[in-house]
Amino acid sequence: MFFNFVGMLSGLIIALANIFDSGFHGFMRWVMITCGLLMFISHLKLALDKKKNGVINRYK
């Protein structure tokens, strides 16, 4: 669970760093923003699925 939060944080940092102060320009900048957001969303989905499954298993 901890690694999912680390992955979410790193994806968000990558996306925000490239939005506000990017070393890349043009198309590559948007690729980095998109990859950071996809990384953030995928780790968020994993964390929420694990929490949901834990809640479901607790009430069975």
Instruction: Count the alpha carbons within 13 Å of 28 in the hemisphere toward its beta carbon.
Output: 4
Does residue 60 have a pLDDT over 70? no
User: Does the pTM of the predicted model rise above 0.75?
Assistant: yes
DSSP state of 25: -
How does pLDDT run across 3-46, given as a tens digit for each residue?
A: 888 999 999 999 999 999 878 888 999 999 999 999 999 999 99
